[in-house]
Amino acid sequence: MSTIRLGDEAPNFTTQSTEGEINFHEWLGDSWGILFSHPADYTPVCTTELGTVAKYKAEFDKRNVKVAALSVDGLESHNGWIKDINETQGTTVNFPIIADEDRKVSTLYDMIHPNANDKLTVRSVFVIGPDKKVKLIITYPASTGRNFDELLRVIDSLQLTAYHKVATPANWNNGDDCVIAPAVTNEEIPTLFPKGHTEVKPYLRMTPQPNLK
């Protein structure tokens, strides 16, 4: 079983989904991606999660993020369950749900944790950059539904820090001040951060978010 760490290339795979066959890397193209697993179809927490993702599609699109869900159930089960999601959550599922009955993808991404459950996937989340590298990994137990507002917040941070020499402090939200990366010298700051900065300590320098007008 593989162990995936931050910075590793996200394993590629070709498999069936509710939107047809997917070659994961080709499907991602130049987009960012979220691959997330749910323990099983026709379960209550998962139903609310997938409904929430469908409602957030415009937010993911705005950030150039493609989302795919996965469980160890098959296509027939997925397609039947989608009807329930649409009905109970007042939405329309608008992203692929990957069928993984042979657990090929679950094994590639280490989504089955035997001490939690030896048959079902845990709630794994992988955020993948356009370079196909893993940027974020979060694992929840089956009993705890995910906070997709937090995932949007993290993607905002990942995209900001990928293109600007900043980091984001605790509880940062889009629009808040950022931390200037330690590798940036004081002499470079006026050029890189023309909005100015505040030096709290020599190692803690704050600047307005650089990608906002």
Of 10, 28, 46, 128, catalytic:
46
46 included as an active-site residue = yes
Q: What is the DSSP string of the chain?
A: -----TTSBPPP-EEEETTEEEEHHHHHTTSEEEEEE-S-TT-HHHHHHHHHHHHTHHHHHHTTEEEEEEESS-HHHHHHHHHHHHHHHTS---S-EEE-TT-HHHHHTT---TTT-SSS--EEEEEE-TTSBEEEEEEE-TTS---HHHHHHHHHHHHHHHHSSEE--TT--TTS-EEEPTTS-TTTHHHH-TT--EEEETTEEEE--TT--
Q: Which residues are catalytic?
A: 46
